[in-house]
Amino acid sequence: MEQMENQDNSIKEFTFLGKSMESVSIIYGIFLIIWGVAVSFISGSNSITSFIPSMFGLPILLFSILSAKSSNKKKLFMHIVVTFGLIVFIGGLDFSRGIMKGTLFDNMWADTSKLMMLTTGLIFTLLCVKSFIFARKNRAQ
C-alpha cells in the first residue's frame, strides 16, 4: 500500500500497487465479471448462481467508473462500491457451510467461486476501508 504525493510532498491519494482505489475497483469488477462467466462456461453450469460473481462485479465496475468520472460524487459511488465488495465477502462465507457439512469441494466450481469471493471480497473491503480512513485523515489536515 502506498500513498501518492503531489509536488509539495503532501499526500494526495491512497493507492495500492500504484493504482488508485477507483482503478483497483474497476479491475476487481472486471475480474469478478470474467470469473463468473468463465466458471459458468468451463463447468458447463446451467445454473444462474454460477454467475453470482459477475452479478456483483457489474455494479462494482459501474460505480467505480462513475466514481472515477464524477469527482463531486466520488464519495457516494465508492461507498456503494465497498458495499458490494462487502456483499461479495459475505456471500463467500457460504464456503464455511461446506466445511461444516463435510461436503467441501463436492461441487468444485461452486466452492472455488465461494472461496475466491471470500478471500478477494475481504481483501477488497479492507483496502476500501483503509482508503476511507486515509481520506478522512487527509481531510482533517
13 strand-pairing partners: 4
Terminal Cα-to-Cα distance of the chain (whole angstroms): 20
Q: What does the pLDDT profile of the chain (141 residues) look like in tens digits? A: 555 444 444 557 888 888 899 999 999 999 999 999 999 999 999 899 999 999 999 999 999 999 999 889 999 999 999 999 999 999 999 999 999 999 988 989 999 999 999 999 999 999 999 999 898 888 766
Strand spans (E) along the chain: 2-5, 11-16, 19-20
Query: Are the C-beta atoms of 51 and 37 separated by less than 8 Å?
Result: yes
pLDDT of residue 14: 84
pLDDT of residue 11: 55
Q: Which amino acid is at 101?
A: K
- Please spell the DSSP secondary structure of 65-85, one letter per residue: HHHHH-GGGHHHHHHHHHHHH
